[in-house]
């Protein structure tokens, strides 16, 4: 089974990046957590925007 690459997601409001590989341990999100597995009630830890405000990061 091939390993799917980790992705990065960016908050459209403040630019905060969620990196699936790193997770967000300070927010209780373990490293390796896919963005789609984060609860829908999760908010951007930097600005409080909703999860739906994140989009795939284009660096």
Partner 1 sequence: MSNLVIPNELVAPLFVPSTFANRASVEGMLARLRKDYPLSKAEVPGYDPHWIVTKYNDVREVSRLDDIFHSGDRSKTVVSQVAEQMMRDYSGGQPHIFRTLVHMDKPDHTAYRDVTKDTFMPQNIAKLEGSIRETVRRYIEKMEKFGNEMDFATEISMLLPLEVICTLIGLPKEDHPMMLRLTQWFLSYADPDLCRPGSNITDPEQQIKTWQIVYDEFKNYYGAVIKDRQGCPRHDIASIIANGKVNGCPMDERSMISYFVIASTAGHDTTAATIANGMWTLAKDPELLTRLQADPSLIPGFVEECIRWTCPAVAFVRSAAQDYELSGRQIKKGDLLYISYLSANRDEEIFEDAHVFKADRKPNRHIGFSYGSHICVGQHLARLELRVFWEEIIPRLKTLSMAGEGKWQDSEFVCGPKYVPIRYEFN
Q: Which of 6, 13, 42, 51 binds partner 1 (CB under 8 A)?
A: 13
The nearer residue to partner 1, 4 or 52, going by C-beta atoms, is 52
Site for partner 1 contains 17 (CB under 8 A): yes
Contact (Cβ atoms closer than 8 angstroms) between residue 47 and residue 16:
yes
Secondary structure (DSSP) of 6-50? P-EEEETTT--EEETTT-BGGGTB-TT--GGGS-TT-B-TTT--B
The nearer residue to partner 1, 2 or 56, going by C-beta atoms, is 56
Site for partner 1 contains 30 (CB under 8 A): no
């Amino acid at each position: 089974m091939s390993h799917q690459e980790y992705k990065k997601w960016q908050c459209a409001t403040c630019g905060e990046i969620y990196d699936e590989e790193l997770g967000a341990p300070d927010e209780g999100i373990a490293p390796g957590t896919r963005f789609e597995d984060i609860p829908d009630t999760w908010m951007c830890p930097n600005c409080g925007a909703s999860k739906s405000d994140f989009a795939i990061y284009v660096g």
